[in-house]
Amino acid sequence: MDEARLARLLEEVARGQTSVAVAASAVRNLLDAPLGWATVDRSRALRCGNPEVIFCPGKTPEQVAQIATRIVEGSRTVLATRADRSHWEALVREFPDAVHHEVARAVEVDRREPVERGARAGLVAVLAAGTADIPVAEEARITARWAGAAVETAYDVGVAGLQRLLDRRELLERAGAVVVAAGMDAALPSVVGGLVRVPVVAVPTSVGYGASFGGLAALLALLTSCAPGVVAVNIDNGFGAGYAAALIVRGRGQFPSP
């Protein structure tokens, strides 16, 4: 249950449209749901604005489906990340309306009302330096949109062809935060940081020739970026970048634009 649903429930109790017993039952759904091997945090949407997200590796398909069921009972939506085919199949058996974002390796269930599914925050621009970075960028896109942001993308706009990035200046100027997925020398986030007035969340990817060390070279380059306003998440962590960007644009809505 999110804050809006809880507020409506309390208003219905105050107007006599919902009994105290029914409301108490609904509030009990906010309590943690122990499964023996896991404890589902069903009150996270009230505390943090979005329900708990499932990280699928290390969990059996059956475990992922059980956790998802408990989360959806309280929030009507859930996002499962790094899902393989077996996780997807288990989830779609439980939720026939589940959506599989294959490139992003994510599965999404959203049973909220249409009016609740729209963007609740500002615009996040998601960039990928090269096509090899798209899976990480897609994880960021799906996550940011699920977390309530409007999202637009620009892919294959790396510095090897700088004109491709400059052609997307209009998008960068409208965005409240920018996610940039880049491997190799990870130069793109620093360039973007010199073009925008909003935070840039950089995702080093494990893409690169030779001594890229599985993305470590890109990560170190981003940690030493000279562009102010560029922050880095861990290697290939599109989920963390997308979630952080959604929080940024949600928070920026509380302040006047510069």
Helix axes 20-28, 3-14, angle to 10 degrees: 160
Domain limits, the chain: 3-21+31-116, 123-252
Which token pair is 63? 């475990």
Res 29: pLDDT: 62
- Pair type for strands 123-128 and 177-182: parallel
Other C-beta atoms lying within 10 Å of the C-beta of residue 218: 31
- Rounded distance, CA 101 to CA 87, Å? 12
CATH architecture for residues 123-252: 3-Layer(aba) Sandwich (3.40)
Res 236: pLDDT: 97
Q: Tens of pLDDT along 50-95?
A: 888 999 999 999 999 999 999 998 888 999 999 999 999 999 999 9
Residue 178: its H or E element? strand 177-182
Res 123: pLDDT: 94
> How does 235-246 read in b/e, with b if 16+ C-beta sit within 10 Å?
bbbbbbbbbbbb
**DSSP 8-class letter at 225:** -
Other C-beta atoms lying within 10 Å of the C-beta of residue 85: 11
Entry pTM = 0.84
Mean pLDDT of 220-226: 93
Phi, psi of 184 (to 5 degrees): 50, -120
**pLDDT band with cut points at 50, 70 and 90 for residue 253:** low
Considering only the C-alpha atoms of the chain, give the largest distance between any 2 of them, rounded to a whole number of Å.
Answer: 69
- Rounded distance, CA 40 to CA 24, Å? 19
Q: Is 176 helix (H, G, I), strand (E, B) or coil?
A: coil
CB 195 within 8 Å of CB 178: no
**pLDDT band with cut points at 50, 70 and 90 for residue 255:** very low
